[in-house]
Structure 1
Amino acid sequence: MAGRPSNQEERYHQVMQAMVYCVARYGLDGATLDRIAKQANLSRPLIRHHLGNKEDMLGKLKSYVLDTFTERADSMFGSLPDTQRSQALLDTLFSDENSASSDLVMAFAALTARAAEDSILQQECRDWILGFEDKILAVLAADHADTDLQILRMVATGITAIFFNVSSLSALSLPDSWHQKSQQAAQTLLRAIGE
């Protein structure tokens, strides 16, 4: 007789999505077990079972956010075409379908704010951003092998900064023209290296 399939992974995602939602709206300190339980439509003891104490919650949030960002980034970079990857990368980064959810970005912003007092968290968040920038740099370098690496690094840094700025401000519902100008700014950087 086969056992009932485990819903542990599904429940984990439900709890973590509720936590991300609450952190995005109330900050790290305001994302209480009660609020997360209400958002997840689960009991407080079950939420506590999944998340643990405040320190455990921070670690689980960090892991969930960075792992989700990594999965999305790996998928995006893996789906780029074999040619003109730089332009395809910009098109993908600034497309509505592939934009990071504002809740996830706001949770990342909350983590980076807390990183000022937590050197380990600071290092992990910084490493993730710099790793993302390195992946952009690798795409640029493959398309522009004759361009000075320092110039390519500046362009990769600029594109990374513009992308995260646009993503972090998405909750403000800025006009479409603002999003378009941000994409054009990234495009201008790319044109500067001959795309």
Structure 2
Amino acid sequence: MVEMTIVSTLLFALVLGFVDFGFAFFQWNAATKAVQVGARLASISDPIAPQISTAGPTATPGAPVAAGSFAYVCNGATSTCTCTGAYCVAGVWSAANFNRIYYGDDGVCGPVAGSRPGMCDFYSFLQPANVVVTYTATGLGYQTRAGGPVPTITVSLQNVPFHFFFLQGLMGFADITMPSMLSTVTGEDLKSTSP
């Protein structure tokens, strides 16, 4: 009976450890998908920093905006956009445009039939403070688009913890911060009405 108690305790901890690490792997995959979806939505939605539409003027319509003309970093933790580069305009944060990326079309976390999902629909533990969206002029332009820059958009996550249930409760295992992850895409039409 003593041997069974010792063995079952170890076996119990091992099985629950596998369950928790399996859940951590699920969280990693869900967060990765959320970043990919966020980058896609950011590329077809109005920018979080609306002043991007006038950043980096060009002499010829559709010509590339010089690389390094601007780099807007919009941080969900501070609800601000900061900018570096020659064509920076004071950063303005558009909460509505950020929410479209974070929540999707329905404005809530959780799937809603017939609406485009946002980042939190794919990873429910995600908080707005974990999201950073960067718009960078990298020397791209569209021949068929008369005006406006074509930024490279990077969506990344910061300070997202893995959540443990069994190991944390039974063994005092603390949450571990996920390594940073990001997804980078080229801006398309930057409109909220795009498909």
Q: Which has the higher contact order (CA 8 A, sep 6+)?
A: 2
Task: Tell which structure's C-alpha radius of gyration is larger.
Answer: 2
Structure ranking higher in strand proportion: 2
If the TM-score is normalised by the length of the shorter chain, which range does it land in? under 0.3
TM-score normalized by structure 2?
Answer: 0.25
TM-score normalized by structure 1?
Answer: 0.25
Structure ranking higher in helix proportion: 1
